[in-house]
Amino acid sequence: MSGSEVKAKLVDAAVRLLAEGGPETLQARKLAAEVGASTMAVYTHFGGMGALVDAVAREGFRQLSANLAQVPVTADPIADIFAQALAYRATAVGNPQLFAVTFGQSSPGGKRASLQNLTAEENRSKPHDGLEAFGYLERSSARAIEAGRFHPIEPFTAAAQLWSALHGYVTLETSGHFGDDEQGIVHILMPLGVTLAVGLGDTMDAAQRSAAVARTTWSDAQRNANGHSGDVQVTSEPAQATFGRAPDV
């Protein structure tokens, strides 16, 4: 068993334990037992629990990006934005623990993932402090502007507004402020998207049509995702179904 293999297995086990038992189960001893090693593995490969939490956060960003990458690009850029929002929300709801760690909202053992650490390790020119997800919103916004459905503003400005609203809704929903069921999608998230689209230049009719299109496309994609019971697909992680449970702390 090579060294880097242990490193990957540690992150895998960390994500699994996090999803199953929450932040407090993410402990060096439990982790070591999970991969059949001693606690030293954490220190030889990461240097400490803090760096391991950072690695978990990076994995969360990676899964978020992977899920957004699966959203198809269609002729309707605003329907695409709605679809991206649904994917973003599904990623968070599918594994709220990982989402919380990813955005520094949870600190297992007092070790909060810091943005500096997240961006330090690999400098592959990720935009905006290591969040690829933002790029997807920015590109869709650019297409909406190009298509004349958004006013001619900077795509960055539109994307920053969309991201703020989307991230805020998801954060509040996963925190329990909007109830448990999926009513929030219908009554808050989608209307919020329509409001933003109209405010950015679209007509009410067109925005609502795009929202409806995204909703049905999304439902179909969920149905076609056989093997998983309506969950989000992750392209790269082959066997491990990290999404599927939503345990509460």
Binding site for DNA (CB under 7 A): 1, 3-4, 6, 26-30, 32, 36-45, 48-50, 108-109, 111
- How many angstroms separate the first and last alpha carbons of the chain? 34
Dihedral pair phi/psi, residue 40, rounded to 5°: -60, -30
DSSP class per residue in 50-92: HHHHHHHHHHHHHHHHHHHHTSPP-S-HHHHHHHHHHHHHHHH
15, 108 Cβ separation under 8 angstroms: no
When asked if residue 117 is in the footprint of its own copies (CB under 8 A), the reply is no
Which residue, 73 or 249, is less far from its own copies as judged by CB? 249
Which residue, 57 or 137, is less far from DNA as judged by CB? 57
* Residue 164 interface partner, choices DNA, its own copies, none, CB cut-off 5-8 Å depending on type: its own copies
When asked if residue 6 is in the footprint of its own copies (CB under 8 A), the reply is no
Of 63-82, which residues contact its own copies (CB under 8 A)?
none
Cα 169 from Cα 178, distance rounded (Å): 9
* Residue 115 interface partner, choices its own copies, DNA, none, CB cut-off 5-8 Å depending on type: its own copies
Cα 218 from Cα 86, distance rounded (Å): 8
Smallest separation (angstroms) from its own copies to the CB of 62: 17
* Residue 139 interface partner, choices its own copies, DNA, none, CB cut-off 5-8 Å depending on type: none
Cα 87 from Cα 217, distance rounded (Å): 12
When asked if residue 208 is in the footprint of its own copies (CB under 8 A), the reply is no
Of 121-150, which residues contact its own copies (CB under 8 A)?
128-129, 131
When asked if residue 107 is in the footprint of its own copies (CB under 8 A), the reply is yes
| Tokens linked to 11 | 């992150």
Which residue, 107 or 157, is less far from DNA as judged by CB? 107
Q: Can you give the length of the chain in residues? A: 249
Question: Long-range contacts made by residues 182-188, C-beta under 8 angstroms, separation at least 24?
Answer: 185/86, 185/89
Which residue, 61 or 234, is less far from its own copies as judged by CB? 61
When asked if residue 10 is in the footprint of its own copies (CB under 8 A), the reply is no
- Per CB under 8 A, the list member of 51, 69, 109, 135 interacting with its own copies is 109
* Residue 103 interface partner, choices DNA, its own copies, none, CB cut-off 5-8 Å depending on type: its own copies
Cα 59 from Cα 13, distance rounded (Å): 12
| Tokens linked to 120 | 């330090």
Cα 134 from Cα 163, distance rounded (Å): 7
* Residue 48 interface partner, choices its own copies, DNA, none, CB cut-off 5-8 Å depending on type: DNA
- List residues binding its own copies (CB under 8 A): 23-24, 100, 103-110, 112, 114-115, 128-129, 131, 157, 160-161, 163-169, 171-172, 175-178, 187-189, 191-192, 194-200, 249
